[in-house]
Amino acid sequence: MPARVITITSGKGGVGKTTATANLGVALALLGQRVVTIDADIGLRNLDVVMGLENRIVYDIVNVVEGVCRLRQALVKDKRLAELYLLPAAQTRDKSAVGPEDMVQVCEQMRNDYDFVLIDSPAGIEQGFRNAIAPADEVLIVTTPEVSAVRDADRIIGLIEAKEKGPARLIINRIKPDMVKRGDMLDTSDVMEILAIDLIGIVPEDEAIIISTNKGVPVALDVTGQAGLAFHNIAHRLLGEDVPFMTIKDTSGFLGRFARFVRS
């Protein structure tokens, strides 16, 4: 079966697109899928550091498009997983170095050799976004439960519908259960009601994400953490499995109060 090309986008920056791309890549590869992640954020590449592969880059996507190297030469093999690869963005060029047609061509070259091509889109709705979306068969939209992120997600949903990319699916990232409980954060149902698209995953706020980015070791390599588990659930759903949405644990609840009681 030819590879499914899935673009991960959001509109707003800093909501977790790159983290989601890296972890879905890892989770799918752990499930035996052959995966390539593409960093489409030319000039501001980061997927390499999140995956911990920054020291192995020789060529990048602009080199491939300009014919400086072959695609195979530019693919960086993951340190830990045999069937996970990264196609890095160029750091010293800008978005205009690659066009939507180039992206389609690069992805076509990978169709027969892999199961999934995950494209990490840059923020915004300009050329970088258009490049990232051009080859997509499916789109995942990442948002956080904040007014600005949800608004931008709505805008992106409109743009994707206009491009007839099929129904986009939503990942709600960085949910803080204690804030939801206090009535100080939009909950999953609020966001779903507002955006009216299918949900593919909810990911709790997890300090392990920052630690994992510090180290260049994606959380999905380990399924014991909440965020790691959330990304694994999304990977299973991408493979068509019906996985119930996790209940996000509130760590400020009984145990937190108990700890405070003990200390006092």
Partner 1 sequence: MSFWDKLRGRRIPSSREIAKERLQLVLVHDRTNISPGLLQTLKDELITVISRHIEIDREGVEITFTQGKRYNRLVADIPVLGTRRRKS
55 vs 35, 78, 193, CA distance in Å? 20, 11, 43
Q: Which of 113, 137, 178, 190 binds partner 1 (CB under 8 A)?
A: 190
Q: Which stretch binds partner 1 (CB under 8 A): 21-29, 64-72, 187-195, 255-263?
A: 187-195
Instruction: Give yes or no for residue 103 binding partner 1 (CB under 8 A).
Output: no
Evaluate whether 76 touches 53 at the Cβ level (below 8 Å). yes
Instruction: Give yes or no for residue 202 binding partner 1 (CB under 8 A).
Output: no
Instruction: Give yes or no for residue 155 binding partner 1 (CB under 8 A).
Output: yes
Nearer to partner 1 by Cβ, of 61 and 149: the residue is: 149
Nearer to partner 1 by Cβ, of 175 and 235: the residue is: 175
Nearer to partner 1 by Cβ, of 113 and 190: the residue is: 190
Instruction: Give yes or no for residue 162 binding partner 1 (CB under 8 A).
Output: no
Evaluate whether 125 touches 155 at the Cβ level (below 8 Å). yes
Q: Which stretch binds partner 1 (CB under 8 A): 77-85, 136-144, 181-189, 227-235?
A: 181-189
Instruction: Give yes or no for residue 184 binding partner 1 (CB under 8 A).
Output: yes
Instruction: Give yes or no for residue 150 binding partner 1 (CB under 8 A).
Output: yes
Nearer to partner 1 by Cβ, of 141 and 186: the residue is: 186
Nearer to partner 1 by Cβ, of 143 and 233: the residue is: 143
Q: Which of 2, 14, 158, 256 binds partner 1 (CB under 8 A)?
A: 158
Evaluate whether 59 touches 140 at the Cβ level (below 8 Å). no
Q: Which of 26, 171, 172, 185 binds partner 1 (CB under 8 A)?
A: 185
For β-strands 84-87 and 76-77, DSSP reports them as antiparallel
Nearer to partner 1 by Cβ, of 80 and 155: the residue is: 155
Least separation, in Å, of the C-beta of 184 and partner 1?
5
Interacting residues with partner 1 (CB under 8 A): 146-147, 150-151, 154-155, 158, 180, 182-187, 190, 194
